[in-house]
Amino acid sequence: MTSRKILDRQIPDLPREIQFCRKCVVSNQRPRIHFDENGVCGACKHADLKNRIDWKLREKELIELCDLHRSKDGSFDCIVPASGGKDSARVAHELKYNYGMHPLTITYAPFEYTPEGYKNFRDFIKVGGFNNLMCWQNGKFHRKLSRLCFEALGDAWQAFTFGQVCYAFHIALRFGIKLIFFGENGEAEYSGDPRVFDLRGMPVDIWSEQYFKGVTVEDVIQYGLNETNYFTEKDFDESDLTFYKIPDVDAMKKLGVQFHWFAYYKKWIPQENYYYATEHTGFTCNPVGRSEGTYSKYASLDDQMDGYHYYLAFIKFGICRTTSDAAHEVRDGHITREEAIALVKRFDGEFPNRWFREHLAYLDISEEHFWEVIEKFRQPHVWKYENGMWKLRKAVYDEEGTSTELPVYNSSLPESSKRILEKRIAA
């Protein structure tokens, strides 16, 4: 049986009355989001601000920053965490070729590459022309940690996020590099905590709150030791935890390590990043068509496990990949809110079938156990069971939740999963 204990500290803070932004399609279930008195989310307000920012002045700030740190002998002078996806490809390429920097790109390896993800990563290195350090985790431990994150946090992806954030700063300390560029400020671009909207980078003292669901890797380890029968102290030693942990803060301050979002200096438009990466680093979109759960063909292509990160967000918050993509494109002026609503109705919450068997095998769980954990995180104020299926209590396309159409999140389930859910509900 799965422990009922939940470590995700975002969940208790969710509003119990669901509300949707009046300008885009995001809801107040997104962690840390704020709506104004007119029912407009922070990201939409920030998008209006972006249209008024003097981007030439911001670029001047970027040039001054680069001038201050650019190496005179061609040695590494900045670090860019890079998957080879469209966003990190643009950041690394611009810094090297447009601003004369000498970036060391670093990659925290995905759980399991997709063919298209690995091709884009290799082309990023070969076509783009970059030095790169790849961190492959202790695979045996990483699988168990991922399962712990799935069961305790409702997101196996969290095991990756720990390293994705922290690894760059470990490398900075070891190479003596002060400048680290991430891509976008996710809180500002996708609507989260307004306290960080205008910052150049994320302060280290709130990484756990902002990126790690309020927990540390040590918290997850203790969960595994106390709440499960498959994880023991023999499964890891201290060296295995190195890159999942925040580096020594005093050492980072002494060196003068700086966290910067490239999007603070250059206007961030995902579709433009796609065009840029296609032209300069050989990036190609999804060869099988749109990604499951959305209408886009060029975002988050790297990892076989990617779709389950979004799907668990759908279970917990009632908003999934299409909501994030469409909301941003409304703010970018590419589509209308009405078009975004139609896209959400058609694709949001679609089950990621393509790599489902691989996902189960990676976590070493059965399909029955997968759904046991899913139901543990299904929030009762978000979901209701009606007419033999789970339905959202409130959807942006149907505020009263009375749609007679079969939602995609039910119709896309594997037949074996439908039978498992039927048995669970009957019991």
Residue 75 in domain: yes
- Give the pLDDT confidence of 142-186 residue by residue, as tens digits: 999 999 999 999 999 999 999 999 999 999 999 999 999 999 999
Q: What pLDDT was estimated at residue 399? A: 58
Q: Is 22 a domain residue?
A: no
Check if the beta carbon of residue 223 is closer than 8 Å to that of residue 150.
Answer: no
Tokens of 59: 């670029």
pLDDT at 423: 85
176, burial (CB in 10 Å: exposed 0-12, middle 13-18, buried 19+): exposed
User: pLDDT tens across 181-211, in order?
Assistant: 999 999 999 999 999 999 999 999 999 999 9
Whether 27 is in a domain gets the answer no
Maximum Cα interatomic distance, the chain, rounded to a whole number of Å? 70
pLDDT tens track for 250-259: 999 999 999 9
Q: Is the pLDDT of residue 5 over 60?
A: yes
The token duo for 381 is: 């104020």
Q: Over 90: is that where the pLDDT of 300 sits?
A: no
- Residue 299's pLDDT band (boundaries 50, 70, 90)? confident
Report helix, strand or coil for 379.
coil
pLDDT of 371 over the 80 cut = yes
pLDDT digits 0-9 by tens, 306-337: 999 999 999 999 999 999 999 999 999 999 99
Burial 60-74 (b: 16+ CB within 10 A, else e): eebeebbeebbeeee
Instruction: Work out the average pLDDT over 11-18.
Output: 96
Q: How many domains in the chain?
A: 1
Per-residue confidence (pLDDT) for residue 379, from 0 to 100: 96
Q: Read off the pLDDT of each residue in 207-236 and give the average, rounded to a whole number.
A: 97
- Mind listing the pLDDT tens digit for each residue in 26-54? 999 999 999 999 999 999 999 999 999 99
Percent of the chain at pLDDT > 70 equals 98
Q: What confidence tier does 421 reach under pLDDT thresholds 50, 70, 90?
A: confident
Per-residue confidence at 389, pLDDT binned at 50, 70, 90? confident
Looking at the whole model, is its pTM more than 0.75? yes
**Do 341 and 397 meet the contact criterion of CB atoms below 8 Å apart?**
yes
Question: What is the reported pLDDT for 402?
Answer: 45
Following DSSP, what letter does each residue of 410-422 receive, concatenated? HHTS-HHHHHHHH
Residues with Cβ within 8 Å of 423's Cβ and at least 6 positions away in sequence, in order, are none
Cα atoms found within 13 Å of the Cα of residue 237, Cβ hemisphere only: 1
Please state the rounded mean pLDDT for residues 271-277: 97
Cα–Cα distance, 186 to 208 (Å, whole number): 15
Computed over every residue of the chain, the mean pLDDT equals: 95
277 lies in some domain: no
CA-CA distance, 169 to 282, in Å (whole number)?
28
Quickly state the pLDDT bin for 400 (edges 50, 70, 90). very low
Q: What is the CATH number of the domain that holds 221?
A: 3.40.50
CA distance 424 to 427: 5
What's the number of CA atoms in the CB half-sphere (13 Å) around residue 389?
16
Report CA 55 to chain centroid distance, whole Å: 26
Amino acid at 234: K
Rounded mean pLDDT of 84-89? 96
- Residue 408's pLDDT band, with cuts at 50, 70 and 90, is confident
- Listed in sequence order, the DSSP H helices in 176-285 are 186-190, 207-211, 217-227, 249-255, 262-265, 270-281
Question: Domain residues for 58?
Answer: 50-265
φ, ψ for residue 350, nearest 5 deg: -55, 135
- pLDDT score, position 405: 58
pLDDT of residue 350: 96
Question: What does the DSSP assignment read for 299-330?
Answer: SS-SBTTHHHHHHHHHHHHS--HHHHHHHHHH
- 277 vs 327: CA distance, rounded Å: 22
Q: What count of residues does the chain have?
A: 427
Is residue 348 in a domain?
no
Report whether pLDDT(412) > 50.
yes
Q: Please indicate, yes or no, if residue 230 is contained in any of the structural domains.
A: yes
Q: Is residue 240 a part of any domain in this protein?
A: yes
